[in-house]
Amino acid sequence: MEARLQLKNVEKSYGSVKALKDINLEIVGAKTIALLGTNGAGKTTLLRIIAGLEERDKGSILLDGKDTNGKELRQIATLVFQKTVMFNRSVYSNLAYGLKIRGKKDSEIKEEIAQELHTVGLRNFEKRKARKTSGGEQQRIALARAFLLNPQILLLDEPTANLDPYSATIIERAITNRTKGKGIVILATHNLSQAKRLADDVVHIYEGKIVEIAGPEEFFNNPRSEMTRKFINGELDY
Amino acid sequence: MELIFSGNSEVYATVYRSLYVTGLGTLLSCLWSIPIATVLGLHSFRSKWLIKGIFTSLIGVPTVALGLLLYLFMSHKGEFGFLHLLYTLNGIAIGQSILVTPLIVSFTASALGAADVQLKDLAKTLGASSFRTNLAIMRETVWSMVLAVSAAFNRGFGELGVAMIVGGNLFQETRVLTTSIALETNLGNFDVAMAYAIILMAVVLTITLAINLVEKLRQENLPWKKMWVLWHPGGD
């Protein structure tokens, strides 16, 4: 049976500012969804709510028809932050953290970490201090850390922002190879061509509301919403 | 200098008593201070600012005032007179544990509170429970806690009021470095007083420098055997 994620009438405010307004979204099956929008549109807030790191003010989030709370969401969803966050430990220790919580044996952990580091192009990085690696390396470590947990929902907040083209390519390749057919991936990005390359569906958020959802072909070549057309052409004020 | 290197058994015994009372006092204080600091540092509640403020202001409590208060409680007619702690090393240790509590609580709570908020989110998104998340934060700030505890140790090691009033400065029983310095100064034996002062400073400096060295080795990911690299970073 295919996984089904539904957001129904989700709203979130910070004081008097409404960050998310009446969000309705349904994702069925193993898909990659690109979340596009201007700065402050609500992309990160939406990702954080799906990740269970923020409580929604209204609405519900259902997984396979079952309403889920923040704690349940944190067990099934993993968020890779826009600004990489590393524990002040070795790369190995950073990668092993989530696996140890899940009760995996040390021997299994060692093998899986070695494999995952190879996938993201960081072989033999285990003993290095995570915070002393470069920005691109830290982003790959953060991805590897999330991949290792095999979450049902993988959330990526601008995973290639501020990276050089080489690092960005490696990360995109890792995302494609690792995630195709394996659960739901929601990727917030400013990079329109990245969204075209990676996404099965594209969602446009403007001022906290979803204004368009479509396949990449339709979204970029024939958007229904005027807001989306302006956004794609770089004409949208915010 | 003669006193310092003479091998005088009373000098060594005095140093040992000082290390004992302050070491025990600091350890005892950690038992309650660190849990209190964890609550203050990692949780939000209404009167948090007030409680933090009280602990911060108690850092500078005069040791003689605390010593007097403890004397009244520990004396024969006091509430805790039955414990026979007055004029004992354990009595001084308990007094110092109370003295250094505000320092450990304030510094540790500040370190925990200042920990990157995103670290909490990171632990949570990797599946950690609230308890494990707090443990992760504590692990990330452990060296700040070590520094807080070492500052507390130094405060206790150098205090006079509690040791004098609660301990009574009894020869070969409760005489510690600070009370010895006070006594010898009063007797006009400034050379002896200075020798004790040098020993006191040497112990404090040695402990502090040792902690800093361990932290530096940890930061640089160096084993003990390679600590000389810290002074010659180009060579290996």
* HEC sequence for B99-168: HHHHHHHHHHHHHHHHCCHHHHHHHHHCCCCHHHHHHHHHHHCHHHHHHHHHHHHHHHHCCCHHHHHHHC
Residue B7 has pLDDT above 80, yes or no: no
Local structure of A200: helix, strand or coil = coil
pLDDT average, residue stretch A185-214: 93
Contact B121 A145 (CB under 8 A): no
Phi and psi for A20 in degrees, rounded to 5?
-135, 135
The answer for residues whose C-beta is within 8 angstroms of residue A76's C-beta and 6 or more apart is A63, A68, A151, A152, A153
Label residue B11 by pLDDT band (50, 70, 90): confident
Identify the sign of the CA torsion B60, B62, B65, B67: positive
CATH architecture of B2-224: Orthogonal Bundle (1.10)
Label residue B228 by pLDDT band (50, 70, 90): low
Residue B31 has pLDDT above 50, yes or no: yes
3-state helix, strand, coil split of chain A in percent (to 5) is: 40, 25, 35
Greater model confidence, A2 or B211: B211
pLDDT of residue A177: 79
Label residue B234 by pLDDT band (50, 70, 90): low
pLDDT average, residue stretch A163-175: 85
Contact B127 A83 (CB under 8 A): no
Per-residue pLDDT tens for A127-149? 999 999 998 899 999 999 999 99
Chain position carrying tokens 């790191």: A53
Greater model confidence, B225 or B49: B49
Task: List A129's β-bridge partners, or say none.
Answer: A90
CA distance A39 to A213: 19
Contact A98 B118 (CB under 8 A): no
Chain position carrying tokens 């400013």: A190
Cβ contacts of A78 on chain B, cutoff 8 Å: 125-127
pLDDT of residue B8: 76
Residue B224 has pLDDT above 70, yes or no: no
pLDDT average, residue stretch B68-86: 95
Helix orientation angle between B89-114 and B9-42, rounded to the nearest 10 degrees:
40
Decide if B190 contacts B184 (C-beta within 8 A). yes
pLDDT average, residue stretch A171-193: 85
Per-residue pLDDT tens for B131-171? 999 999 999 999 899 999 999 999 999 999 999 999 999 99
pLDDT of residue B1: 59
Among B119, B125, B127, beta carbon nearest to A53:
B125
pLDDT of residue B119: 92
pLDDT average, residue stretch A175-197: 86
Per-domain residue ranges of chain B: 2-224
Per-domain residue ranges of chain A: 4-232
Contact B127 A129 (CB under 8 A): no
pLDDT of residue B236: 43
Measured between CA atoms, how close is B118 to chain A, in angstroms?
7
Instruction: Tell me the whole-structure pTM to 2 decimals.
Output: 0.80
> Closest Cα to residue B125, out of A91, A42, A145?
A145
pLDDT of residue B235: 44
* pLDDT, chain A, mean: 91
pLDDT of residue B227: 63
Cβ contacts of A72 on chain B, cutoff 8 Å: none
Q: What CATH class does A4-232 carry?
A: alpha beta
Among A53, A81, A102, beta carbon nearest to B127:
A102
Contact B121 A53 (CB under 8 A): yes
